[in-house]
A and B are shown apart, each in its own frame.
Chain A
């Protein structure tokens, strides 16, 4: 048995041949097990092993550097045994602050051991020298145009845009997008997408409490003082008060997103998201802050609760007018979202949490790092807690994360007020915690002179961090595709690891390329949208090979848009195509949540695959939309019809060419397909239509009128349908509405 195990062991080792430094040593071992501590600013930055982090390498050749460093380290041996020291360190056979990181016998250890024992080696040429997109077909430009206009503007392409794309091809997409990104609908979609990420609409309590009692207690409830005495009717007066409150609250919740709107609409650098030295206010929120009088002349319409302008708050005062904050400038130190009360209230803190939640969200939202993604296992976390007075500063297992998180938490120290109603502003009376790593961004500490503007200091450093651009490009990818970018694969023992790693690496390269474009356009977010739209990752649509082997299928697994439309998108698409407001999944929050939507509070992640419950809603939608639009369309004169501009409801299947032409139009309008009349999909729809008419003729009796529930309105009479053709058309539309081409993007 033992001999068999030995043989198996050596077979495994032998199977690791021709080690590639990047693919094997770096990807599978060092980047996962060493980099977190052994880098500048890391817990092991004062050791001989200091590696460059690719995410912040700033264009340096990190791979060559790290290869050289590791080769040098591999040559160091323990004097007494002549064993490679690095192998003894990773197994903690000699003292290693990071403990045992690679158990002997593990695949990772074997890779490192082979690298160490075979001495210096040069990077092996990449195994995959073929294009990642070989055999992958792209969506054609016309369909891409439809995808983009529906996705970003909630409408079908205009005739002029079609002409533009037909004549100019993909190159003309930038011009089309430049125009599209001026439309209001684009900003609706943009801000909806950013709310999915930032979730600020999910702040607890009534929105006016975002403006804390401590500093705005005298002004935040201005709406309650409006009496509407000029309205004589009591009901009308009450209704006016309700309307005012509703608008005020809507305005408050929109305010942080107005900042995003302002930056993007005016082509300002998107770094202002975390550096803007202003906030956006509407006439309504300006009253809440008590600054309306000084701003009122700048509003075009001071009654418009959704008109936002940039403004600055003066340094904060208490309700009694005494200073609560003293700044050298006399102004509140605005720093984009970092200092908006909405962000701080959405992610509140406590005396025990100590702003760590905010630090975590900061990393996630602005640097694209999930610090909780893979928390390291601790042999006995409870014992560690008990052993150290301050585990987060003393126990290696804890320090590895807290050394990054706690300095950021410390930068939020002026917003430590745990009583949300009082507002987030308020440093601790006792001063900031001493049993935490001090405020800063590793490896730099916050200078004393900057403490009054700690979040501005953070915002400026964040904007200069290469990971900020990458994170924003990832956010745009999420808005366009509905899913997050790939994470590095973990299971190095899987036979499909290399395929997953390649998929990850290829996508990562594209993200970095687009981030570079984003940086080079002075952080204009529109450039990220335009570059993603032209990217093959957004345009991939099919494969032109007979079969995909498991490795290739794994490589391509995440490719292709194929996004289930969110409730809001489904609503907009129906409106765009049918000019009909189907509001079941947007009107009531429980149907929105049931159909995979979010409420930004408890339900914060969209469902990406339809459940049976969602399948039922799709059936309801298909039934209702067909019911409410097909008879109405036929009731209109031809020139005004969308669905059936070239055919009447009583044409029988015998006139096959006319029926097929009508189906081609429906396929184009509803599904975005460009079918010929003899396309198999057209044939299928035709056979459905003809089959239903035929079946009806075999039924002894049927009502010669359309369904009672499918009248154009309550006042309309039921349309005649003596040959069942109207109902057959309704069935065809129902069928089309249930297809992936309609329900997915």
Chain B
């Protein structure tokens, strides 16, 4: 039994299947994971897409610009905002810099408009279940279960489907501390090398013996997971050379720095990044003009830093929010929840400068032909998170993986998005 199977054992037990008898745990450190790496950016609370990639410019929908002010870059139309922001990255700068790499889908239908189900649906592709894993967790479980920080999360819905543990690293210095678990202070060791080896071998023998016996599924799962966690944690030391002494201060950049250091070290597959407060019921334009630039600046930081680390080409970015905002203002100058929104992608294996999907003047989704990838009001489908998630699974090459099958999205072949990634 190889290491990957050992880790997957935990998931098997978690779903009630029997655990093979006589399995043997391994003690060697796994090879570094070399990519692709997945960064999922969440604008938590619900972004206003009409102030970013799906501009309208009518008075009832947008007060800060008119239709004639809408900007273009490549195939994209976007809302101008340079004049309205105090800090962060403007839409103009973002699209100028990344349009050639961006894939945007407008008119995504979340079906409901409450934060909790929407966040779960957007993250997992499944509305009527609370046990499905987020895409980030699923891809980590399929592609790098032996990584000690396979799935990093900094917030937002982070269900794992019991496939893999989630990891939280709130500050960069904590990563340094845990990467030196066997050393008091970094330069010395608690135990001599031969002692540590003995301890590890004994733990392994003990696990082998215990796994060969029939136990309650929870007990078996706990033993496997615990052993894997401790064993794989030894590879955290690979992060040490990549931990920057100049950690950024901005909240999204801070998260990205931890994720990218872990990617570079080969100890992480995916990360769920998130900043909140997009829920602009109170004063939509003020809030969105503060948060969208902060969000875009965080994405920009991640891409630039990935480039500096030499892993930009291996990066896949999913940029999303759990809902959109109404095409009208409420009495408090805010906007409420709207079940139609947008999603953006860029990175490894994604053809850029592509705008797919459409909303009409009232910000309603126009049905979409999943084969020709064009709007089709009469015969198109309503593209929902399950369609996007199936496409993501296909992009990652995991749609046939047993974990993906266990958490089937039940999208028919006729509704599967074809050549979505170009």
Instruction: List chain A positions with a Cβ less than 8 A from chain B.
Output: 136, 350-353, 372-378, 380-383, 385-386, 487, 490-491, 496, 499-500, 540-543, 545-550, 553-560, 562, 564, 589-591, 593-594, 596, 602-603, 607, 609-620, 623-624, 626-627, 680-681, 684-685, 687-688, 691-692, 695-696, 699, 702, 707-710, 727-728, 730-731, 734-735, 738-740, 743-744
Contact = CB atoms under 8 A, between A and B. Distances in A.
B167 A613 contact: yes
Given A352-B336, A382-B340, A590-B170, 13 more contacts: A373-B130, A374-B130, A378-B112, A550-B18, A556-B216, A559-B216, A562-B222, A609-B160, A614-B165, A616-B233, A623-B190, A627-B184, A688-B198
Contacts of A728: 195
Nearest to B384: A377
B363 to A, nearest CB: 7
Contacts of A385: 113, 326, 338-339
Interface in B73-114: 109-114
A612 B167 contact: yes
A381 B219 contact: no
B250 interface: no
A491 B181 CA distance: 43
Contacts of B330: 352
Interface in B273-322: 281-282
A699 B194 contact: yes
B217 A553 contact: yes
B167 A381 contact: no
26 contacts: A378-B111, A380-B109, A382-B109, A382-B340, A487-B130, A491-B129, A548-B217, A556-B216, A557-B13, A559-B217, A591-B177, A609-B160, A611-B150, A611-B229, A612-B232, A612-B233, A613-B236, A616-B233, A616-B236, A623-B184, A684-B205, A684-B206, A699-B192, A699-B194, A730-B191, A743-B226
A560 B281 contact: no
Contacts of B231: 615
Contact of B198 (A613, A691, A707): A691
Interface in B170-208: 170-171, 174-175, 177-179, 181-182, 184-185, 188, 190-192, 194-195, 198-199, 202-203, 205-206
Contacts of B155: 602-603
Contact of A380 (B175, B235, B282, B382): B382
Given A611-B167, A735-B203, A381 B113 contact: yes
Given A540-B216, A615-B233, A623 B167 contact: no
A619 B219 contact: no
A382 B170 contact: no
Contacts of A554: 15-17
Contact of B174 (A378, A591, A618, A688): A591
A646 to B, nearest CB: 23
A680 B160 CA distance: 36
B362 interface: yes
B217 A557 contact: yes
A75 B351 CA distance: 59
Interface string B378-417: 0000100000000000000000000000000000000000
B214 interface: yes
Interface of B: 10, 13-18, 21, 109-114, 116-117, 127-130, 147-151, 155, 160, 162, 165-171, 174-175, 177-179, 181-182, 184-185, 188, 190-192, 194-195, 198-199, 202-203, 205-206, 209, 214-219, 221-223, 225-226, 228-233, 235-236, 267, 281-282, 326, 330-332, 334, 336, 338-340, 362-365, 382
A610 B364 contact: no
A598 B16 CA distance: 29
A616 B216 contact: no
B147 to A, nearest CB: 7
Which secondary structure dominates where chain B touches chain A?
loop
Contact of B206 (A556, A710, A731, A739): A739
A709 B16 CA distance: 45
- Kindly list the 5 A-B residue pairs having the minimum CB-CB distance in the complex, ordered from nearest: A612-B148, A554-B16, A615-B229, A381-B339, A615-B233
B181 A620 contact: yes
Contacts of A610: 165, 225-226, 229-230
A472 to B, nearest CB: 22
B178 A617 contact: yes
B184 A709 contact: yes
B214 A611 contact: no
A562 B190 contact: no
Contacts of A373: 130
B141 to A, nearest CB: 12
B149 A619 contact: no
A351 B113 contact: no
Contact of B230 (A386, A590, A615): A615
B191 A594 contact: no
Contact of B190 (A593, A607, A707): A707
Nearest to A597: B168
Contact of B218 (A546, A560, A692, A730): A560
Contacts of A386: 362, 364
Contacts of A738: 199, 203, 230
Given A381-B110, A500-B16, A727-B195, A709 B190 contact: yes
B181 A617 contact: yes
Contacts of B198: 688, 691-692, 695, 731
B148 A562 contact: no
B112 A381 contact: yes
Contacts of A685: 202
A641 to B, nearest CB: 22
Contacts of A540: 216
Nearest to A32: B128
Contacts of A546: 214
A351 B332 contact: yes
Contact of A603 (B150, B168, B179, B362): B168
Nearest to B116: A372
A554 B18 CA distance: 9
Contacts of B195: 692, 695, 727-728, 731
Contacts of A548: 18, 214, 217
B194 A590 contact: no
Contacts of A491: 129
Contacts of A383: 364
Nearest to A617: B178
Contacts of A691: 198
B117 A372 contact: yes
Nearest to A397: B112
Contacts of B21: 547
A678 to B, nearest CB: 16
A594 to B, nearest CB: 6
A159 B177 CA distance: 40
B363 A382 contact: yes
A9 B333 CA distance: 54
A623 B230 CA distance: 13
B149 to A, nearest CB: 6
A557 B214 CA distance: 13
Given A548-B214, A613-B236, A744-B222, A382 B167 contact: no
Contacts of B130: 373-374, 487
Contacts of A553: 13, 16-18, 217
Contacts of B223: 740
Contacts of B185: 709
B168 A382 contact: no
A547 B181 contact: no
Contacts of B15: 554, 557
A614 B171 CA distance: 14
Contacts of B151: 611
Contacts of B205: 684
B161 to A, nearest CB: 11
B172 to A, nearest CB: 10
A570 B190 CA distance: 21
A691 B223 CA distance: 24
Nearest to B324: A382
Contacts of A490: 128-129
